Amino acid sequence: MTAGVRVNLDDTLVAIAGLGPLDEAARAGARDHLDRLTKPPGSLGRLEELAIDLAGITGQAFPTMAHRAMVVAAGDHGVASKGVSAYPSDVTAQMLANFIGGGAAINVLAAAVGASLTVVDVGVAGPFASVLPGHERGGHLVRARIRPGTADMTEGPAMTRAEALRSIEVGIEVMAGLRASGVDLVGIGDMGIGNTTAASAIVAVLTGAAAAAVTGRGTGIDDATHRRKVAVIEQAIARNAPDPVDPIGVLAAVGGLEIGTLVGVILGAVAGRVPVVLDGFITGAAALLAAGLAPGTADRAIAAHRSVEPGHAIVLERLCLRPLLELDLRLGEGTGAALAIGLIDAAVRLRDGMATFDSAAVSGPLDGPTGPGARS
């Protein structure tokens, strides 16, 4: 593993429970500083809100967010054999090699925002080009394969409960390694043919929404394939009857190994007061599971964007998260999260780089930056 450590899920949940609410003193310190900058209070909108949120999550009024990382978890899905995707399962392993080779969209966007890339093989079914440690061109590969893809969830559970738990702990361990290396901001993404089917099933179970309401086109399937995909999800839920109050049971029944790993990264980040930037629908499903395990987790996450997957809007509403972007993205890989890290960078640079009214000798508002005209 990244840090060679084993981390217990229960210990992580205890750590999260001990965090309490967001740090209001840090939020107030950030807000007061922003209101003293040479601009009308609140005029930078969501960028100011981001700076304040970062303070509340980290407990520091002026966190730097200088050491950034992207984590992409990869795994295959047995349910892909039911013809629910426009692409064959071989693509998962092929794209994993592409990530390591530096040729994917996430490689370009992570580099653009100064983020390292960690790719976790937690359940890829097929082989891919061998890479010697330290020779990766596009990202660091973590080999943590639990099994070569999940089972077909229409015929029984996608994995055992022990495998589901292990997938979460892999994510916690990856995040522990990143924290030990000094990472103070993490974005997450996914790769796995068939994983929108698994995510749709998870979201349907956890929210009570109909499968048809949360199931989208994924990689761009046609009408007939979409109808089959909905039917497959309904069949899987009926076959396994997962209990929505048991997140690990839901993950085992209809989830994916890479989704479990993303749950762990989210929990590990929250426990360490590291802001975690969610990407699209798959990471949203993972965030729902994480919130089920540790209430309040969503308060410490940042939603990068709202994808075109219909279930993503339902997820964001359930998590009470307002996305930063709406660009009709549906690629995954963490691409939306990387774009959002660019906005976070802008928020921090504005906070630290702008002059105050006093330092620039600019007249402030007539009633003062903390008077009746200031933002509450």
CA nearest neighbour of 281 among 253, 256, 299 = 256
Half-sphere exposure of 15 (CA within 13 A, CB side): 14
> Rounded to an integer, what distance in angstroms lies between the CA atom of residue 332 and that of residue 309?
11
Locate 330 and state its tokens: 């549906």
d(CA 213, CA 288): 17
CA distance 256 to 251: 7
| CA–CA separation, 31 and 375 (whole Å) | 9
Rounded to 10 deg, the angle between the 257-271 and 247-254 helix axes is: 150
Structure token digits, residue 203: 């979201």
> What does the alpha-carbon distance between residue 143 and residue 70 come to, in Å, rounded to a whole number?
16
Three-state secondary-structure class, residue 188: strand
Of 48, 173, 258, 333, which residue is the catalytic one?
Answer: 333
Amino acid identity, position 190: D
Q: How many helices (H) and strands (E) does the chain have?
A: 15, 6
333: annotated active-site residue: yes
Q: What is the CA radius of gyration of the chain?
A: 21
Active site residues: 333
